[in-house]
Structure 1
Amino acid sequence: MVASTPHETVTRQDQLLAGLDPEQLAAVRAPRGPVCVLAGAGTGKTRTITHRIANLVRTGHVAAGQVLAVTFTARAAGELRTRLRGLGVEGAQARTFHAAALRQLRYFWPRVVGDQQWELLDGKMRLVSQAAHRAGMDVESDGLRDLASEIEWAKAALIGPDDYPSAAARAHRQIAEPGVRVASVYRHYERLKTEARQLDFDDLLLHTAAALEEHGAVAEEFRDRYRCFVVDEYQDITPLQQRVLDAWLGERDDLTVVGDANQTIYSFAGASTRPLLEFSRRFPSATVVRLERDYRSTPQVVGLANKVIAGSRDRPAGSRLNLVGQRPDGPQPRFAEFDDESAEAVAVAGRIRELLDGGTPVSEIAVLFRVNAQSEVYEQALSEMDIPYLVRGGERFFTRPEVRQAMMALRAAEPADGELVERVRALLEPIGYIPEPPQGGAARQRWESLRALVELAEEFAASTEGGAATELPRFAGELEQRAQAQHPPQLDGVTLASLHAAKGLEWDAVFCVGLVEGTLPIQYALGDGAPAGSLDEERRLLYVGVTRAREHLWLSWALSRAPGGRPRRCSRFVYPLLPEQHPASRAAAGTRPQRTGGSAARPRCRVCDSALTGTLAIKLGRCADCPAQLDEELLARLKEWRMARATELRVPSFVVFTDATLIAIAEQRPTDSRALVSISGIGATKLERFGAEVLSLIRGER
């Protein structure tokens, strides 16, 4: 290997630091030792910490293999590894707390325990059920989940069974069973687990900390191996995770933490902002850097986000980050009020169709809600408009049969010369990969999975250097790492996700829906018995949702769950955000706008003038029972034309026009562009691309 010259080293260093803003640069170039980066949403925190690690390695302060970076999700850990590899840093560890602890515990177990390693539990529900039975409790599945959550909270907070009742009372835990009964289940659960020689995920952290605290030789070997620590999303750390981090550090202070107290949304699971906000008190010599330049969102979105969080009643000084948008101006956020949830979902799906027609990729749109039960009405509305969607938290990508087959084929392939991406395509062809997508159904879904693997190969090839013969085994290894870390590739479809699940993600267009009292803020955050700070945490959830949007932002609510249902109020967090001219803004002053006016107005039937309900009725412009004159010959011509255009454009037929849109055209027979664009599903983009052809077909021309 030829050593780099001093000039080449300087050039690489300049390239590494190029493009960083002054605050990012200060964090990257800070010397070894304690560093706290207070990073607002969209301010480039991942870029900052990965460049800091690369800078420390390149300047010789630490070897790559001596770095341990930890975060809270497998996806975030995978992103750190990908970014570090792109910066040429090989060997640095980037893992979740639990994954890092599992690796260490497996290594040190023979010296600490001395016998066969205990089995790791896949899930605790079976043992919790047995523990509840031993405690004399007959509990349904929902109750068992609640008990499991309480055990997880207690262990994360370093609370044992004996101390649980008093600790739960102090924390105002919302539990159906008395604290002493939960403690009894907790005690039996721990005994059953020990008898079976099993560990749960919290035990990984507890035993790792104990191994380092109680065995000097183990601690010395570990601390000789790892010299530099980085913790992402530090505002989400639990007392148990902090104990592990302290055990890793020992008496050292080579620690970089990054966090944003405004995005603390896991207090219910034991997370605490105290270590972040008190970092400089613990380490008086710490470098503290504030990142407030928002590169993700337009100034309009950033301004609204600042308004959301400014309403918090209790904002510690260290959390007062005021984001400053760096992007060009974009559209103003939209606010919409509807009669019921069905009308809200139909309107959201209609706006999504407009965005798709305007060129926004389907994978760059998300619908976010407070609880998962809100997803169903949006799944139905999107399905009726033929808009693909993905429910975050659904089927795992790497468990799909075609993905498992593909990974087996890649692992089994012999090393050979040739470009990586072409080899991957060739190996996936027998499994079902073809250059052009199938029309739809299961074949289309299978193809989408395989295409995602090809796109990962393209990204991998672009970010690595190496011989062609070694690229395929390295790529197969990268897929294995992603599978273990549950870090799937991006698939096409509108994302449906809870606000909690959206943390760490971003999209061009975000719809925050169902913003009503009792849902956001959630009912148990209201009232005198609510846990301290729970209302502010609900506000932070909305802040997280708003800051996921790059350009288009929509906030909406429905005045009842179903037509004629019990009335509801818009969320208290939304009223201060409304423009003065918005009809709903009058409700803040005590005057409720007419439910049939403003943004809640429904489209009306062109035959009987009744308000329309349901996506199909709105698309057709008439009630399902109202008579209509369908031109069968025109419909046949339209379908024939659509098939030809879809083949020409290499897209599925519904991307040109859905069946419902073609039926509406064949019923209404519009004679000019204005009449054509009034049909639901035909926006400006489709009018420009297909309008002249459709009008010719209506006139009987070919």
Structure 2
Amino acid sequence: MTAETLSLEERLLSGLDEEQREVATTLHGPLCVLAGAGTGKTRAITHRIAYGVHSGVYQPQRLLAVTFTARAAAEMRSRLRDLGAGGVQTRTFHAAALRQLQYFWPQAVGGQLPGLLEHKAQAIAEAARRLRVTLDRAAIRDLASELEWAKVSMITPSTYLEAAKGRGEPGGLQPTAVARLFQAYEDVKLDRNLIDFEDVLLITVGILQEDPKVAAEVREQYRHFVVDEYQDVSPLQQRLLELWLGGREELCVVGDASQTIYSFTGATSAHLLEFGQRFPDAKIVKLVRDYRSTPQVVDLANRLLAARRSGGPAADRLWAEPLQLTAQQPAGPEPEFTECSDDEAEAAAVARRIGQLVAAGTEPKDIAVLFRTNGQSEAFEQALASAGIGYQLRGGERFFNRREVRDAVAQLRTAARSQPAGVPLGQAVRDVLSSLGYADEAPSGSGATRERWESLSALVALADELSAARGEDFGMPEFVLELHERASAQHAPSVQGVTLASLHAAKGLEWDAVFLVGLSEGLVPISFADTPVTVDEERRLFYVGITRARQFLHLSWSLSRTPGGRAHRRPSRFLDGLRPGSVRTTAGIEGGSGSRRRREYRGPAVCRVCGSVLETGAERKVGRCADCPPSYDEATFESLRGWRLEQARAADVPAFVIFTDATLTAIAEAKPASLAELANVAGVGKAKLERYGEAVLELLRGE
């Protein structure tokens, strides 16, 4: 081994802690890495792979690293490339199986591989029509999930009835009807010569089991295996992994049973928990040093898991002893707890607090609002838009599908053919994208122009990041190739704007500031979590949410759904023992320090005309029922609407972002004569008062 090689190996190990170094230098399996949230598991296993490659123990093409999402696989591939181990095969289970199936199908089965059914909805709808069953979209979606669960659990239509006991009625159908639909779905695929993603795994398993020559060739190709997020492996994926291994023990698995949150898809932490039983000689390494979060966040996460009580033998068997994380970051602010009167007030409070963080220097892209169900996002979208804060909805339009991104990649591809020598990559990318609207300074406002700029800015930032990581030889052609790889894996760069995402979608991500919202019973835990096992999974999901935060954590809930509604909600049981006190209050947020102001709950708002309880946010804003007559001058209201339209066009934003109709109505009826009076109108916050207050008062004086 040359001195240069030794130096490189030492550099690979020098930045690792004691436990990470043990992982990186244990080059032969079986090895099980129990890695808590934020403990650097990806760093440990990528350095292990790179160390093995550079020391000659691993041949890059003969090691298969498997993870669960295309994005995670792309991230691992990128890190390995930076470490000089770019030839390692890094794929999802499905991608690895599909590649093998495409290669071996002609010799193992013969003919052409059937087409791949990317979405089940149409096939399920056709199966339902054959059975003369009527299904709506929601039912089709539920049934698609049920069939996926059945197939990854290696359940067939004939064994479904027995296996599905206690699973309820997906799509509103009884188990017998689901079993019949399952068979009809399989028949539809057969008639159309199609296979779905689960079939890719099933058929690959079948070929490896039945064809010794194919199995031998696969095992000759891959000598070493690494499986990330091992707690999420399904029985079908585990069976495929066993066939790849063929009795060998060159396996490294990495996981955390406390982050098992996909049981409804067939994932089970049993394979991780029983690894030592299957491999008695396995080395077990625990990573517990949390490099992501402050001690305050880590303490809250540890206490949440420690508060779990026995749910009976069945639940206790599936609950692993949590890893006790030890924070490595400096101390930060204490987590904030906010109780609000209703969902609208909660969204407004969160938007105000985010505005304070942004004003204090936190980038919007480093902030996330996480909720239990996607349906909760609308209130926070509107509150952020009203506050003039940009956001991105995770699970919305994919980054590389955006028109401006497609145009940018096309322009960069053209530029790659004639990039002048000596121009840094970052500057070259800026020069190309300037023709599409990129500038160093962000445009004002939060409309389509700002969204386009944020997409282009993300590409510029990525060019700077990759150029710094890979050196001067990384030019425009390499950057374009990287973009194509990321597009195929949907590995999007960070975009400016607060992230709105479900707790499930947040897995694997992290932000400086995290807002966990809607933390009331019925949402966290979700109402249909009605057994100790499912409640435990909800606790783990909440734990995942907490551990996404690096520095700042804000937890909130509301007492009623609508303004003025009955305050029948109560905080999530998971907050018991975590939040300071349990006084029933509503909370506002004031000042830059983040201190909370508590005020007595005064009961439901009533109409100033008839005295009835106001049911909607719009009614509460104007202070009267929708059926009661307005008291504003029509000309004044129309003048306000005309002014709002001019402001919206100038800022390139929807009109409601300036003021909603309900707020305009309230202004017209209140006829405020000063900024102080205008500030008392519902819907006029501090930011809008500063931005539009004088103009509104001048218009009212003119009227």
Using the size of structure 2 for normalisation, the TM-score is 0.83
1:548 aligns with 2:560: no
Change (3 A) 1:599 1:388: farther
Instruction: Map 1:155-166 onto structure 2 (within 5 A).
Output: 155-166=151-162
User: Counterpart amino acid of 1:96?
Assistant: T
Distance (whole Å) between structure 2 residues aligned to residue 667 and residue 6 of structure 1: 82
Task: Tell me the matched-pair count.
Answer: 639
Please say if residues 27 and 48 of structure 2, whose CA atoms lie closer than 8 Å, have aligned partners that are also in contact.
no
Query: For residue 470 of structure 2, what is the aligned residue in structure 1?
Result: 464
Distance (whole Å) between structure 1 residues aligned to residue 620 and residue 363 of structure 2: 26
Query: For residue 439 of structure 1, what is the aligned residue in structure 2?
Result: 444
User: Counterpart amino acid of 1:112?
Assistant: A
The one of 349, 357, 360 aligned to 1:358: 360
**1:314-346 per-position Cα deviation (integer Å, ceiling 9, x unaligned):** 566854211111111111111121221111111
What SS does the aligned partner of 1:366 have?
A: strand
- Aligned-residue offset at 1:504: 0.7
Query: For residue 610 of structure 2, what is the aligned residue in structure 1?
Result: none
Instruction: Map 1:396-435 onto structure 2 (within 5 A).
Output: 396-413=398-415, 414=417, 416-418=419-421, 419-435=424-440
1:533 aligns with 2:533: yes
Query: For residue 500 of structure 2, what is the aligned residue in structure 1?
Result: 496
Q: Which piece of structure 1 moves more, 422-431 or 341-350?
A: 422-431
1:239 aligns with 2:235: yes
Change (3 A) 1:584 1:302: farther
Query: For residue 71 of structure 1, what is the aligned residue in structure 2?
Result: 67
Query: For residue 283 of structure 1, what is the aligned residue in structure 2?
Result: 279
1:344 aligns with 2:346: yes
What SS does the aligned partner of 1:407 have?
A: helix
- Aligned-residue offset at 1:109: 2.0
Distance (whole Å) between structure 1 residues aligned to residue 686 and residue 60 of structure 2: 53
Change (3 A) 1:206 1:366: same
1:118 aligns with 2:114: yes
Change (3 A) 1:143 1:465: same
User: Counterpart amino acid of 2:538?
Assistant: E
Query: For residue 608 of structure 2, what is the aligned residue in structure 1?
Result: none
Please say if residues 458 and 496 of structure 2, whose CA atoms lie closer than 8 Å, have aligned partners that are also in contact.
no
Please say if residues 93 and 237 of structure 2, whose CA atoms lie closer than 8 Å, have aligned partners that are also in contact.
yes
The one of 504, 517, 521 aligned to 1:517: 521
Instruction: Map 1:259-338 onto structure 2 (within 5 A).
Output: 259-312=255-308, 313=310, 314=315, 318-338=320-340
Query: For residue 395 of structure 1, what is the aligned residue in structure 2?
Result: 397
Change (3 A) 1:82 1:600: farther
Query: For residue 627 of structure 2, what is the aligned residue in structure 1?
Result: none
Query: For residue 477 of structure 1, what is the aligned residue in structure 2?
Result: 481
- Aligned-residue offset at 1:353: 1.0
Please say if residues 65 and 91 of structure 2, whose CA atoms lie closer than 8 Å, have aligned partners that are also in contact.
yes
Instruction: Map 1:92-103 onto structure 2 (within 5 A).
Output: 92-103=88-99
Distance (whole Å) between structure 1 residues aligned to residue 541 and residue 9 of structure 2: 39
The one of 505, 510, 523 aligned to 1:506: 510
**1:538-587 per-position Cα deviation (integer Å, ceiling 9, x unaligned):** 111111111111111111111111122361221111122122475579xx
Query: For residue 565 of structure 2, what is the aligned residue in structure 1?
Result: 564
Please say if residues 69 and 94 of structure 1, whose CA atoms lie closer than 8 Å, have aligned partners that are also in contact.
yes
Instruction: Name the Cα RMSD after superposition.
Output: 4.0
User: Counterpart amino acid of 1:159?
Assistant: I
- Percent of aligned positions with the same letter in both sequences? 50
Q: Which piece of structure 1 moves more, 537-546 or 447-456?
A: 447-456
Instruction: Map 1:673-688 onto structure 2 (within 5 A).
Output: 681=686
Q: Which piece of structure 1 moves more, 454-463 or 412-421?
A: 412-421
Please say if residues 506 and 545 of structure 2, whose CA atoms lie closer than 8 Å, have aligned partners that are also in contact.
yes
Change (3 A) 1:601 1:75: farther
What SS does the aligned partner of 1:305 have?
A: helix
Please say if residues 384 and 615 of structure 1, whose CA atoms lie closer than 8 Å, have aligned partners that are also in contact.
no
Instruction: Map 1:644-659 onto structure 2 (within 5 A).
Output: none
Q: Which piece of structure 1 moves more, 140-149 or 208-217?
A: 208-217
Query: For residue 193 of structure 2, what is the aligned residue in structure 1?
Result: 197
Query: For residue 453 of structure 1, what is the aligned residue in structure 2?
Result: 459
- Aligned-residue offset at 1:467: 3.9
Using the size of structure 1 for normalisation, the TM-score is 0.83
Instruction: Map 1:118-157 onto structure 2 (within 5 A).
Output: 118-157=114-153
What SS does the aligned partner of 1:502 have?
A: coil
- Aligned-residue offset at 1:682: 6.8
Change (3 A) 1:617 1:425: farther
Change (3 A) 1:599 1:338: farther
Query: For residue 577 of structure 1, what is the aligned residue in structure 2?
Result: 578
What SS does the aligned partner of 1:70 have?
A: strand
Query: For residue 379 of structure 1, what is the aligned residue in structure 2?
Result: 381
**1:7-43 per-position Cα deviation (integer Å, ceiling 9, x unaligned):** 2222212211112111111111113111111011111
Change (3 A) 1:659 1:187: closer
Change (3 A) 1:616 1:485: farther
User: Counterpart amino acid of 1:443?
Assistant: T
Please say if residues 118 and 198 of structure 1, whose CA atoms lie closer than 8 Å, have aligned partners that are also in contact.
yes
Query: For residue 247 of structure 2, what is the aligned residue in structure 1?
Result: 251
Please say if residues 39 and 45 of structure 1, whose CA atoms lie closer than 8 Å, have aligned partners that are also in contact.
yes
Structure 1: runs of 5+ lacking an equivalent = 586-595, 605-610, 619-623, 631-651, 671-678, 691-702
Distance (whole Å) between structure 2 residues aligned to residue 543 and residue 599 of structure 1: 31
Change (3 A) 1:20 1:599: farther
Q: Which piece of structure 1 moves more, 214-223 or 329-338?
A: 214-223
Query: For residue 695 of structure 1, what is the aligned residue in structure 2?
Result: none
Change (3 A) 1:439 1:138: same
**1:265-286 per-position Cα deviation (integer Å, ceiling 9, x unaligned):** 0001101010000011111111
Change (3 A) 1:600 1:279: farther
- Aligned-residue offset at 1:95: 1.6
Structure 2: runs of 5+ lacking an equivalent = 587-596, 606-613, 622-629, 637-650, 677-683, 692-703
